[in-house]
Structure 1
Amino acid sequence: MSNPFGTVPAEAILEGDATDAYFERTRATLEHAGKNPHVVAEVTADQFPTGEFEVFTGVKDVATLFEGRAVDIDALPDGQLFDGGPVLRIEGPYLEFAALETSLLGFLSQPSGFATAALEARLAAPESLVLSFGARHVHPSIAATVERAALLAGLDGFSHVAAGEILGREAGGTMPHALMFCFGEGHQDEAWTAFDEAVGDDVPRTALVDTFWDEKSESLLAAETLGEDLDGVRIDTTGSRRGDFRHIIREVRWELDARGYDDVDIFCSGGLTPETIRELHDVADGFGVGSHITSADSVDFSLDIVEISEGSEDPSSSRTQSGDDGEPISKRGKLSGVKDVYRTPDGGHHVTLADRDGPADGESLLEPLVRDGEIVREFDLETATERCLADAEAVGFDHKTPSPDR
């Protein structure tokens, strides 16, 4: 069976078959009428700046989608934050990209949502180790999309092995409760010892310590069992048994320190949110974040034509030139005309018409991505991460005061 899991193959996406039916009917109608106008279309989530910033990503896949097609595309850089106005602009004959709209928006909307949620987690504990544990909550075919979005937002690592192979990064992780069950209650020390003997030296010795007994007891047993080889303990207590999670962590820390194990880190996981991370970041050393990232709402991007000219009467024409006769156009509730967006030194995000001057101290954010079907931009994840974190600082993204010790 060539497609055992029923996923849409890459070929269908590239050929424009991964589309909504009404785009196929639009193509048939325009070809029947001999129309293929030259248009400028923009991708937006909000027309005007809202003050609520989100992370823009997925642009590398968009470039791949449009490679070889007779269009020009400008887009925000990968990892840029935005709060209104266009994030991407396409110019060319409409039938060159009409059927690609569905995939285009999917490539941007969900990864941008993942990255925005991951950035919230990152900034909740800027100095702590934060890992992405959410791949189990999504279809395996998009696991690498989740993990890349998490890395872009500054998370320190992830757990998915196949995603790591795609991204060129090593997946991380230690042990599940299933391993502890296989050895049984009262034999936790045997499980930790076997793990220590079995895995490579590069794997942190982090013992799971909430399976059978209370977290303090298992943490102390792990420390006694592995001694100086123990790097950390992971507390994954389910919410129904957690009680005051902060108090539990502080108690474990106290008891470890009292016995000379002050260099053993405490790592927390299990349904964590930025709010809980913010509450715990001064008593724990690291966090695994899953569902907060994978359950994030997709950014509600839409694509709208904002300028149109007659263009070619031949739908098979590979390209037309817009000239100067393009007419602003828009549906009700959207803004007509080709636009630019700018970032000012105070973190402001500004939207203007492209033929008007932007802010005197503003930096234009839309950059060339595709020119007549050729990708004209390089992509580097580390650069995108640096951009994301720097821009988050510039615009004041999610700056909240951590909870005080109680």
Structure 2
Amino acid sequence: MSDRFDVVSEEAIRDGTATDAYFLRTETTLESAGKNPHVVAEVTADQFPTGEEFELLSGVKDAAHLLEGLPIDVDAMEEGRLFDGGPVATIEGRYLDFARYETSLLGFLSHASGIATNALETRVAAPDATVLSFGARHVHPSIAPVVERSALVAGLDGFSHVAAGEILGKEPGGTMPHALLICFGSGKQEDAWHAFDEAVGDDVPRVALCDTFSDEKDEVLRAANTLGDSLDSVRIDTTGSRRGNFRHILRELRWELDSHGFEDVTIFASGGLGPQELRELRDVADGFGVGSYISNAEPVDFALDIVEIDGEPVAKRGKLSGKKQVYRTDDGGHHVSLARHDADGEPLLQPLIRDGKIVREFDMDTAARRARDDSAIVGF
């Protein structure tokens, strides 16, 4: 399959060849020189906390399985933790035992954490609404599960990608695209909605897309009259160039649904939405689909740096030497200290791998609860 799709295989990730060439040349050089020091290396984005730039950690499960079986110890924050400076993970062992895995390790953590952080922003922006991840179409299909898992870690209610659902053990959501309405033709929206209702299983929510050919109010009322009590929700995905005042449109739809006796029909909005739009619309819509704001998130700029060699603190310029611990205080503070010093607060770096064995379980629902609680504590 590698001849058809530009996808790195799982085998290449596991054997460490999914890496930058200079790590393999470093291996050759150190082996030739007879050097393989015992080191402590840390994964960090920023050295010092600012109290203002928290990000959400994701990708820990993949990182753990990448390093599983290597003769090393790893401590890491739990998935779903918010961090702000200092290490999110620490690796201790002989350098050549893990050197070639740095590229993949940082990729797992950087990409997933960026996606999770943006997803959490949307979750916090509309805490009482249903928020779904609709962004898989904006990324390479091989990493769609990374997008959807990170969205769930951030506390989103679901996602749309079928294959990702199979990998994650979660049922994807979604009902109908504009293409379905267009296939039936202008003026025949009722035929499309009715055909959908007849064809799909009872477990699929009846959500009618209502902005394809005519005014949203017109299509919403036609859908409600067509499906009656079967209709659960209407989705409004109006193209930006035709949107005008989106908030006013949604308020008008709510008014018309209520005035015609369809108070139980909810309104779901999608199309180029982000946290700002969700804050503006959360009182006039019951749910949102968020796509590119989540899937196109900038990766967190993690780096892996050696901070101790054979028990002695050392670091490159601009980095802090010595093994560290990170603490969360009751007031939401995020503090970094040398690991040998006691400090107030909950230590966030906890055992992940001991002598190559994973000593932690990974549960997306637990991570989501952790993200919710942490965001409240730190004021995210």
The answer, yes or no, to whether TM exceeds 0.5 is: yes
In the aligned structure 1, how far is the partner of 2:366 from the partner of 2:265?
A: 33
Structure 2 spans left out of the alignment, 5+ residues: none
Equivalent residue, structure 2, for 1:18:
18
Between the aligned partners of 2:115 and 2:232, the Cα distance in structure 1 is: 30
Alignment partners' CA distance in 2, 1:6 and 1:388: 34
Letter in 1 for 2:250: I
Equivalent in 310, 313, 318 of residue 333 of structure 1: 318
Give, as a single letter, the amino acid of the residue that structure 2 aligns with 1:9.
S
Corresponding residue number in structure 1 for 2:29 = 29
Q: Structure 1, residues 305-325: CA drift from partner, whole Å, max 9, x if none?
A: 00002xxxxxxxxxxxxxxxx
Amino acid at match of 1:37: P
CA–CA distance in structure 2, aligned partners of residues 61 and 250 of structure 1: 43
Q: Is residue 358 of structure 1 aligned with residue 343 of structure 2?
A: yes
Secondary structure at the residue paired with 2:42? strand
Task: Give CA-to-partner distance per residue, 1:258-296, whole Å, 9 cap, x none.
Answer: 111111111000000100010000001100000000111
In structure 2, the partner of 1:145 is: 146
Q: Does residue 345 of structure 2 align to residue 388 of structure 1?
A: no
TM-score, normalised to structure 1's length? 0.92
CA distance in 1, matches of 2:228, 2:58: 44
1:46 alignment partner in structure 2: 46
Instruction: Provide the C-alpha distance between the structure 1 equivalents of 2:309 and 2:161, rounded to a whole number of angstroms.
Output: 45
Cα deviations by residue, 1:193-236 (Å, 9 ceiling, x for unpaired): 00000000111111000000010000010011111111111000
**C-alpha distance in structure 2 between counterparts of 1:119 and 1:216, whole Å:** 32
Matches within 5 A, 1:116-127: 116-127=117-128
Which sits farther off after the overlay, 373-382 or 272-281?
Answer: 373-382
Q: Could you tell me the TM-score, scaled by structure 2's length? A: 0.99
Return the alpha-carbon distance in structure 2 between the equivalents of residues 255 and 387 of structure 1: 40
Q: Give deviations 1:126-147, integer Å, cap 9, x for gaps.
A: 0101000001111110101100
Q: Runs of 5+ in structure 1 lacking a partner?
A: 310-325, 398-406
Q: Distance in 2 between matches of 1:378 and 1:260?
A: 49
> Which residue in the other structure is 2:281 paired with?
280
Residue equivalent to 1:346: 331
Supply the distance in 1 between the matched residues of 2:162 and 2:378 (Cα, whole angstroms).
34
Offset of residue 3 of structure 1: 4.8
Distance in 2, matches of 1:63 and 1:252, equals 48
How far the C-alpha of 1:299 sits from its partner, in A, is: 0.5
Superposition RMSD in Å: 0.8
Q: Distance in 1 between matches of 2:49 and 2:97?
A: 30
Q: Structure 1 residue aligned with 2:351, among 357, 360, 368?
A: 368
Match of 1:106 in 2: 107
Aligned residues: 379
**Deviation string for 1:95-129 (max 9, x for gaps)?**
00110000000010000001000000001110101
For the pair 1:70 / 2:71, whether they are aligned, the reply is yes
In 2, Cα distance between equivalents of 1:3 and 1:386? 42
Runs of 4+ more than 2 Å apart: 1-4
1:32 Cα deviation from its structure 2 partner: 0.9
Contact 2:2 2:8 in 1 (8 A): no
C-alpha distance in structure 2 between counterparts of 1:146 and 1:339, whole Å: 30
Pairing 1:90–2:102 present: no
Corresponding residue of 1:292: 293
In the alignment, the residues of structure 1 paired with residue 162 and residue 358 of structure 2 have an alpha-carbon distance, to the nearest angstrom, of 29
Deviation at 1:4, TM superposition (A): 2.3
Q: Give distance in 2, aligned partners of 1:124 and 1:2.
A: 41
CA positional deviation for 1:2 = 5.5
Q: Secondary structure, in 3 states, of the residue corresponding to 2:37? A: strand
SS at match of 2:306: strand
Q: Secondary structure at the match of 2:22?
A: helix
Query: How far, CA to CA, are the matches of 1:300 and 1:291 in structure 2?
Result: 19
